[in-house]
Amino acid sequence: MAIVGVLVITKRGAFHRFPFFKFISMNKYSSTSIDRLHTCVPTLQILFSHVIKKFDNTIIHGQRTPEFQFELFQKGRELIGGVWVVVDRKKVVTNCDGTKIKSRHNAEPLSEAVDAVPYPTMYSDIDTIRHFAGYVLGIADMLYSYGAIEEVICGIDWDNDKDLHDQRLFDAVHFQLKR
């Protein structure tokens, strides 16, 4: 707890201090989230070190192996005639298979993408996820304007045109370098 106050100066030069108490809480990442974030490029590490201060969240994925990327690629798909075909669009997690089409999570030596979700709601509240994505992008835009990080985009608006209705894959918890 920190004591914070307001200083009021009157016309005669007298001043009065009106203290009030404010609880200052600082969120922090678990060791697992820190380990995952350390697999990412410095831009994402800097961004999320700022995000966690005011918006509690969990880092789900940083860098992924090609094998794990392929596991995710298979979700919502079946191998039909030697070709992976989408059979359940709602279960599709990624369009990148990790070998022919690499994800930014597969970048070497550090991942150029991170998946982060609000804590404790995780994936259960789509409105909170949208709010979180907007918050992260706002912090990213501010840090980018200061020259502190590279530009970042989100899977809520892949083409970064501010039109959220033209997306084929909704992935509001995915953040990556804009390239």
Q: What is the pLDDT of residues 124-154, one digit of tens each?
A: 899 999 999 999 999 999 999 999 999 999 9
State the pLDDT at residue 7. Answer: 46
Domain 27-64+103-177: assigned CATH number: 3.30.1380
Binned at pLDDT 50, 70 and 90, residue 12 comes out as low
152-155/171-177 β-pairing: antiparallel
Q: Round to whole Å and give the CA distance between 109 and 175.
A: 18
Count of CB atoms situated within 10 Å of the CB of 146: 8
For the ranges 21-25, 53-57, 117-121, the lowest mean pLDDT is seen at: 21-25
Query: What tokens were used for 164?
Result: 């959220």
Q: Are 171 and 156 in contact (CB under 8 A)?
A: yes
Binned at pLDDT 50, 70 and 90, residue 39 comes out as very high
State the pLDDT at residue 10. Answer: 52
CA pseudo-torsion sign 145, 150, 153, 158 = positive
State the pLDDT at residue 3. Answer: 40
For 74, residues 6+ apart whose C-beta sits below 8 A from its C-beta are 84
33 vs 18, residue with greater confidence:
33
178 vs 26, residue with greater confidence:
178
Q: Round to whole Å and give the CA distance between 173 and 100.
A: 24
